[in-house]
A and B are shown apart, each in its own frame.
Chain A
Amino acid sequence: MSRSRNYVVAAALAGLLSLANTIVALALLPQGAHHINQSSNQPPYAVILIEVVVGLTGIIAAYGVFRTQRWGVVLTLVFMVVNVLISLPGIPFGPTAFDKVSSAVALVVAAAVIWLLLRRDTNAEQRVQIPA
């Protein structure tokens, strides 16, 4: 089956977003659950753990999209929706401007990946017959 350009771009964007999420979440993990939960400008420790899991699995799912595998597309769609839901609170409630902007970027990238994956590959000139 031929690989469409939409899927290659979606796989690249999803892979980069998942990688960025994983790196940010892994960088926060060494601070420990107690310190993170006490801090007012950090997301809850549980959210960071979810981001690590979603990020790592998202990289694998992005590879699945690149290989044009159905499981990859389905998983990436699910993770991108989860990414949207995780990023959304960061836009109004982000403690710093950087947090707000990065949340907005993550939201846009996730939305773009969803749109690329769901864009239909149809040809208007396909051979069709109008029923009588």
Chain B
Amino acid sequence: MTTVDEGRRARRLSSSAHASRGARWLASTLVALVLLGWAASVYILVLTAGGLRDTGSHVHWWAHVIAIVVIVLTVEPLRRWLRPSVDDIVYGHLDDGYTAITELSRHMDVMPSPEAISGDPSLAQMIARTLNVPYVAITDGEIETSVHGAQPSDRPLADVPLTYQGSEVGHLYVAARHPGTTLSNRDLRLLSDLAQQIGVAQYAIRASEQLQASRAALVAAREEERRRIRRDLHDGLGPTLASMKLQLTAVARLLEPEPGRAADLLDEVRKSMDETTVDVRRLVYGLRPPLLDELGLVAALRNHPATQSGLHVTIDPEQLPELPAAVEVALYRIASEAIHNAARHSGGQQCRVCIDVTTNEVHMRVSDGGRGLPEHLVDGVGIAAMRERAAEIGGTVEVTSDDGTTVTTVVPLRSPGSS
């Protein structure tokens, strides 16, 4: 499949190169024709002024000299003026940009994946060849994703923003064809049309990279969680259970000869079992707060440990409809962190949690009547964790300080990918 795609791509590049040679020949011919017309006009008009009337008339010698001098002096400036104009006609896709856009779409179609555009100069090369410009660069922020040619210092670069759904995803920089000139408005309109197509591809690259990073982070978090549970089970539950097994074996042996010693050992086993139960509870709690299952979100927040330190927490409303498990856990963790921060840092005695469930979203506001945030606050681990919790399910967290601190959370009721 890859070989077939590469073959198609090579054929397209080859046919495009032929078309480019043809266009160059056409542009040169047109320039030569106009220069010929100019030279002939100057010569005949000057000779007419110098006495040329009919085939037998005498023409002054200076008329020939003037005509030749004028032609020699004007041909090069005229050629320099003509070349950009003729190039605009030949390469500027006068009819419409359809051909260039189709070429671009086909080019991207044969690319194996959106990521292949990144770092591949052939896309910039295709645009450069289509418009006959010496330098094209496609950038994603500061990073150049596709570049053709060396950036010339004798002419400005046209800067065409690459956008997707109104947001900027990169830039397309194109150098003018000739020193000291700029691209025509027609060229810029075509580049703008091409930029729309490239913007979609650029967005796909960025989304793909972000997805990959997100997937890697998820895998890393899962592995970290597994390691922690394994360590807890290995270092805590495993030895405890092995020890209890040995103690029970010893109890069985001592039951007849030493009933008193057996009773002591059984007591030790009971204590170990109590500790193990606490460990298991801690593990289970780490996976999902049990209060959520036992009491629900409102009651779980109302019984937050911070309330025992004197903070009065009010929850509005009293009852909530059933929420998806992930949403419920995220809201509980974010609110817990906000209440914990209110108890530790706000200096206030009141904390109010308002939860509003709409058809598609849940809005939660946790506000305290404390002293608010310092003027130059750098997000700490707690705030970053709240943002991460919300972002995991496609939500946002905003922390504002105005008459106390307010943490506003908005999370969707359905994850972005679900139908």
Contacts and interface: CB of A to CB of B under 8 A. Distances in A.
Interface of A: 1, 68-70, 73-74, 77-78, 80-81, 84-85, 88-89, 91-93, 107, 111, 114, 117-124, 126-131
Contact of A117 (B54, B89, B151): B89
Contacts of A68: 94-95
Nearest to A89: B44
Given A126-B158, A126-B188, A130-B156, A91 B34 contact: no
Q: Which 9 A-B pairs have the closest CB atoms?
A: A128-B156, A118-B85, A81-B37, A70-B94, A92-B48, A92-B52, A84-B37, A88-B44, A129-B159
Contact of A127 (B36, B57, B152, B158): B158
Interface residues of B, number: 48
A73 B94 contact: yes
Interface in B175-210: 175, 181-186, 188-189
Contacts of B55: 93
Given A117-B89, A121-B88, A77 B30 contact: yes
A80 to B, nearest CB: 8
A129 B172 CA distance: 11
Given A120-B84, A128-B159, A131-B151, A84 B45 contact: no
A127 B37 contact: no
A93 B173 CA distance: 54
B40 interface: yes
Given A74-B26, A91-B45, A131 B156 contact: yes
A123 B192 CA distance: 15
B153 interface: yes
Contacts of A119: 85
10 contacts: A69-B94, A70-B89, A77-B33, A88-B41, A92-B44, A114-B37, A118-B85, A120-B84, A130-B156, A131-B151
Nearest to B151: A131
Contacts of B33: 77-78, 81
B95 A91 contact: no
Contacts of A131: 151-153, 156-157, 175
Nearest to B48: A92
Q: Which of A69, A78, A81, A130 has the most CB of B within 10 A?
A: A81
Given A81-B34, A129-B159, A69 B182 contact: no
Contact of A81 (B36, B90, B156): B36
